[in-house]
Structure 1
Amino acid sequence: MDLRYHTPLSPEMQSHLGIAPTAPLAMADQVRFSELDVLNHVNNAVYMQWFERLRVRYTQEWGLSRSTGADKGPRIVIRSGQIHYRQEMLMDEDYVVTCGCTGFRTTSFSLAQTLWAGGTLRATFDCVLVLLTSDGSARYPIPDDLHRRFVEIDGARDENM
């Protein structure tokens, strides 16, 4: 099976790569030389860049991001986040980053992100994102259609109930 970089991976492809459970959005890439530190493994800060890249893509595909050219829409900020490094990453390793919503409230939602290589979970990042108005002065409510998408596609729970 051919691993395609920078292209969303189907649940079937994720399962084939040993990712369980599968996620609503997953994309593959390969470790580059520029991402290594003096110990010849991936620098810890790079993991955050990988997670961010997919998180931005997730908000774009779920219709939240203003980076797609829309003038209106929320400002998205990370309220909190926790990363757990499980195993080092090395040069030329293929990897997959996943992303999915686990729960949401009125103006915020929780994302679970994972990093996999060779069928092994290498790192996790759990964060809470808050939606603000475009000027940042107030909270921005999550639209109803996004609530439905969180529940139906991501399997997230409504934490307001």
Structure 2
Amino acid sequence: MTDIPYLTPLSPDQQRAIGVTEPWPLALADRVRFAELDPLNHVNNVAYLIWFETARVTYFKRVGISTYADNAVEPRIVIRRGEIDWLQEMRADEDYVILTRAVDYRTSSFTLQQEIRAGGTVRATFTCVIVLLQPDGSGRMPIPPHVLEVFHRIDGVEKRT
């Protein structure tokens, strides 16, 4: 992935160039850093969670959920539930891509699916339920219509009836 930009959303063509046959709404490439290794010289489990978070924040900004600039009006974004599967170890200097998309939603919550791929294989997956709360935390906030439009048009989530 030497000519693929790190931590910059990849276009569908860039995703295909690195082996993602069905492009996702968000893909970020990066490389394993020495600081992310454990004493056994593979990536520490916590690093995966940080990588997934980096992609989630970028995704939220891109779909218009939050700019993380105005806590007085933007929703509080809470992970209600998350499930991670570590499928194959990763080591120093490996290039990887983090993929992110919405797969389901309700009135004030939605499910995100994420994958980390490297060397042509899925190394870890993370599925989480995100809840939007009012800026002051007083209750749930409905998903804004412009975000639902992205879920439908770009992520391919089926409209609820």
TM-score, with structure 2 as normaliser? 0.94
Query: Number of residues paired by the alignment?
Result: 160
Q: Gaps spanning 5+ residues in structure 2: where? A: none
Q: Deviations over 1:121-161 (max 9, x none)?
A: 11100000000001111110011111111000011134x42
Q: Match of 1:107, as an amino acid?
A: S
1:101/1:150 contact within 8 Å kept:
yes
How large is the RMSD of aligned CA atoms in angstroms? 1.4
Identity %: 51
Q: Distance in 1 between matches of 2:129 and 2:10?
A: 24
User: Which residue is 2:135 aligned to?
Assistant: 134
Query: Displacement of 1:53 after TM fit?
Result: 0.6
Q: Distance in 2 between matches of 1:147 and 1:51?
A: 22
User: Which residue is 1:19 aligned to?
Assistant: 20
* 1:83 and 2:103 correspond: no
1:108/1:130 contact within 8 Å kept:
yes
Q: Distance in 1 between matches of 2:128 and 2:9?
A: 21
Q: Distance in 1 between matches of 2:155 and 2:10?
A: 15
* 1:49 and 2:75 correspond: no
Query: Displacement of 1:3 after TM fit?
Result: 1.4
Query: Displacement of 1:71 after TM fit?
Result: 3.6
User: Which residue is 2:41 aligned to?
Assistant: 40
Query: Displacement of 1:91 after TM fit?
Result: 0.2
Secondary structure of 2:154's match?
helix
1:2-13, aligned counterparts within 5 Å?
2-13=3-14
Q: Deviations over 1:12-44 (max 9, x none)?
A: 211221224321011111100000001100000
Q: Distance in 1 between matches of 2:20 and 2:40?
A: 27
Q: Which stretch shifts more, 12-21 or 119-128?
A: 12-21
User: Which residue is 1:118 aligned to?
Assistant: 119
1:101/1:111 contact within 8 Å kept:
yes
Q: Which runs of 4+ in 1 moved over 6 A?
A: none
Q: Match of 2:26, as an amino acid?
A: L
Q: Match of 1:56, as an amino acid?
A: V
Taking a change above 3 Å as real, the CA distance of residues 17 and 66 of structure 1, as seen in their structure-2 partners, is closer
2:64/2:146 contact within 8 Å kept:
no
User: Which residue is 2:98 aligned to?
Assistant: 97
Q: Distance in 2 between matches of 1:138 and 1:114?
A: 30
Query: Displacement of 1:66 after TM fit?
Result: 4.5
